[in-house]
Structure 1
Amino acid sequence: MKILLVCAGGMSTSILMKKLEKYSDENNLGATIKAVGLAAYEDVYQNFDVILMGPQVSYRMNEVKENTGLPVDAIPSFDYAVGNSENIFKLANKLVTQNK
C-alpha cells in the first residue's frame, strides 16, 4: 500500500511518517509512505493508493478528494497526536478496501 500523508507544511506528518514506516517494517506490511505539505500533494498523488490528512487540514478534505479521485480521510486527532500507527493503518486499509 502506498500512503500519502498531507498536513499544513509537511513537518508534523514527517514525524508520523517515520513511526508508520517503523510499524510497517516491524509488521512486514511493505507500505510506502510519504509526507507532504498541502501545497505539494497535487505534484505526487498519482503514485499513491490513499491520502491521509492531518486534522489541522481536514477542512480541505473534499477539495483533495475532488482533485485526486483517491480515497481520502482525516486521521483522528488523538491517533495523529500520539502516532497510533496501528489505528492509522486500519484507516488506510479500510479506505483502500472500500474503494476497490
Structure 2
Amino acid sequence: MKKITIMLACGNGMSTSLLANKMQAAADKEGLDAEVFAGAVKTIPQEMDKRHPDVVLIGPQVRYVVPELKEKLSVPVEMINTMDYGLMNGEHVLATAKKLISQNN
C-alpha cells in the first residue's frame, strides 16, 4: 500500500492532536506507511494543497461542517465516531480511515 495521509480536524486542532498521536503510534505498530496530523477546520483548504490528505476526519464537536466539506473536497470526509473520539481509540479511528481510503480507490 502506498503512503497514506490522514488529517483530523476540530475547532482549533487541540483535541484531535492527542488522537492523531495515538493513530500514528497504531500505524507505526502495524508497519503502515502513514502520516497522521491534526489541525483546525479552518486550515483544511491549506492542508489539502500542502499535504494532500487521503481522508479528512472531523471531531464530533464540529460535525456541522461535514456536509459542506463532503461537497467541496475530493477525498472522503467523515465525523470521527463519538465513542472512539472520547476514548481516544487510535486503533479504531485508524481502521476507519483505512476503510474510507480503500473505498475511495
Q: Structure 1-normalised TM-score? A: 0.93
Count of aligned residue pairs for this structure pair: 100
* 2:101 partner amino acid: V
Could you tell me which residue of structure 2 aligns to residue 27 of structure 1? 30
Tell me which stretches of 4 or more aligned residues in structure 1 moved more than 3 Å: none
Q: Partner residue of 2:12?
A: 9
Alignment partners' CA distance in 2, 1:37 and 1:13: 9
Q: 1:51–1:70: 8 Å Cα contact kept in structure 2?
A: yes
**TM-fit CA distance, 1:96:** 0.9
How many Å separate the matches in 2 of 1:22 and 1:38? 23
Q: Distance in 1 between matches of 2:63 and 2:99?
A: 18
Equivalent residue in structure 2 for 1:57, among 56, 59, 62: 62
Give the AA of the match of 1:70: V
Matched residue SS, 1:57: helix
Whether contact under 8 Å (1:4, 1:45) holds in the other structure is no
Match of residue 82 from structure 2: 77
Question: Which of 80, 97, 103 matches 1:98?
Answer: 103
**Retained in 1: the 8 A contact 2:6–2:54?**
yes
Q: Which amino acid aligns with 1:67?
A: K
- In 1, distance between residues paired with 2:95 and 2:20? 15
Q: Normalising by the residue count of structure 2, what TM-score does the alignment of the two structures yield?
A: 0.89
State how far apart, in whole Å, the 1-side matches of 2:93 and 2:78 are: 10
Q: Percent identity?
A: 37
What are structure 1's unaligned runs of at least 5 residues?
none
Q: Which runs of 5+ in 2 are unaligned?
A: none
The CA RMSD measured in Å over matched residues stands at: 1.1
